[in-house]
Amino acid sequence: MEITYRVRGGIPLVGDVAIGGSKNAALPLIAAGVLAAEGETVLRNVPQLRDVRMMLNILDFLGAETSFEEGTVRIRAQKLQSRPIPAELCAPIRGSILFLGPLLARFGVVEMAYPGGDVIGKRPVNAHVEAFTQMGAEDMSTQDILHLQGTLESGHVILPEFSVTATENAVMAASLLPGETRIDLAASEPHVQEVERFVGSMGAKISGIGQHTVVIRGSRTLHGAEHYVTFDYLEAGVLVLAALITRGKLRLHGIDREHLLSFLDSLRRFGAVWKYDPKEQALLIDGELSSLRSMNVRTNIFPGFPSDLQAPMGVAMTQAQGVSRMFERLYEGRMAYLYELEKMGAHVEILNAHQALIIGPTPLRGRVVASNDIRAGAAMVLAALCAEGETTITDVRYIERGYDKLDQKLRGLGAKIERMEA
């Protein structure tokens, strides 16, 4: 089924909106349910996304009992077994790689097809394999199958890079190992911190949460636990930028400012007018009073500017005065959305796979454009919201893998956006 969005731009977004649960936190938390050999794992505030259901499908395939109703996921993994996970379950979702650590730690063997997901550049699995071989696993993988086996042991793990999912995998595996495991070069993104807190509530002891060195004292038996999934700071960033480029005024509820420090500092340099209320955990963004000016942005690991907000920020730069420079440090495929922006009239100079100049302000015009990946899809929605006339966005399935009912939220704020199914 082909899904498209039809958007009529030029309407300021106004109102209050509650930010939903984080997909990037929910997926590893679901995988962590494998670790609980007793009790029930309960996750609340889980976004209604296809990727969530696909992760649960993998658990069902492995023999777990799962349910997902009204934002609450329940997992009972007592009868779960480690079986070869076929490509039809792994290939459509990058998050399937998160089962590698929990299954290997609990059963001593894991075999699965290579994960899929967005095409945003190379995202190899070597960091995951390197972590587990340091823990004592034997790598028996082939070109088509990821296959690790062996009894893992606690010790010292030095990750080859600040990989989010490799950190999550290593933390989950270490939580099931007696003794102390130290992980260096650990990623520290908010969703990594969620996993670290969660395994702590399951019975492991963990220190260094949110730091690049994490120490886990594991336990042979972990129990189910209950957890409220943190807000999606990436969804928040998209809505903030939507307010700016439509010259609207939004109040976003459920915000942890610590998750958005670099992004909010960039907004300050960008000329945005915003105010954070720590008591209410609310962020007020005033696009009408803002005067956007060019700036340079370099994406980086947390707490740097998020790579997942690079494309939405690139759209906002088309509406700023002067020449902005975007430098994508992490993925070589994340600039492809700029070709779609050029169709709409943006003045862009792509210097190489990692750098581009964006010259503004440039009026955008409605066109037919495509979603290249989850975050590029959100960028196309932003472009459509500030464009003259009507824009049709294709391949919306990417957008709906990462944003829970984004079209409904935007309509509630005054946007003219229609979801079409063919």
Instruction: Identify the pLDDT of residue 27.
Output: 98
Question: What was the pLDDT predicted at 119?
Answer: 43
Residues 59-71 have pLDDT tens digits of 999 999 999 999 9
Mean pLDDT for the stretch of residues 171-197: 97
Q: How far apart are CA 5 and CA 411, in angstroms?
A: 12
pLDDT at residue 312 above 60? yes
What is the percent of the chain where pLDDT is above 90?
A: 89
Contact 191, 306 (CB under 8 A): no
Which is the catalytic residue, given 16, 51, 60, 118?
Answer: 118
Across the range 4-28, mean pLDDT stands at: 96
Where is 224: in which H helix or E strand? none
312 prior amide bond cis, ω within 30? no
What is the structure's pLDDT at 260? 96
Q: Is 402 helix (H, G, I), strand (E, B) or coil?
A: helix
Token readout for 320 is 């700023």
Neighbours of 35 (CB within 10 A): 29
- Class of the CATH-defined domain 3-20+231-421: alpha beta
Q: Mean pLDDT across the stretch 248-258? A: 96
How many helices, marked H, and strands, marked E, lie in the chain?
A: 14, 25
Q: Where in the chain is the domain with CATH 3.65.10.10?
A: 3-20+231-421, 23-228
Give pLDDT, residue 121: 39
Say yes or no to pLDDT of 193 above 60.
Answer: yes
Residue 168 predicted with pLDDT over 60: yes
> Which residues 6+ apart lie within 8 Å of 88 measured at CB?
none
Percent above pLDDT 70 for the chain: 98
CATH superfamily of 23-228: Enolpyruvate transferase domain (3.65.10.10)
pLDDT for 152 beyond 50: yes
pLDDT-derived band at 92, boundaries 50, 70, 90 = confident
3-class secondary-structure state, position 131: helix
Give me the pLDDT at residue 2, please: 87
Question: Over the stretch 230-248, which tens digit does the pLDDT of each residue have?
Answer: 999 999 999 999 999 999 9
118 is catalytic: yes
Residue-wise pLDDT for 259-292, tens only, equals 999 999 999 999 999 999 999 999 999 999 999 9
Note the pLDDT of residue 1.
75
Place of tokens 């102390």: 180
pLDDT score at 331: 79
pLDDT of residue 122: 41
What long-range pairs does 203-209 form, CB within 8 A, spacing at least 24?
Answer: 203/175, 204/174, 204/175, 204/176, 206/171, 206/175
Per the CB < 8 A criterion, the answer to whether 55 and 90 are in contact is no
Task: Tell me the pLDDT band of 372, cut-offs 50, 70 and 90.
Answer: confident
pLDDT value at residue 29: 98
Question: What's the rounded mean pLDDT across residues 187-199?
Answer: 97
pLDDT in tens, 95-124: 999 999 999 999 999 999 998 754 443 447
pLDDT, one tens digit per residue, over 199-213 is 999 999 999 999 999
SS3 421: strand
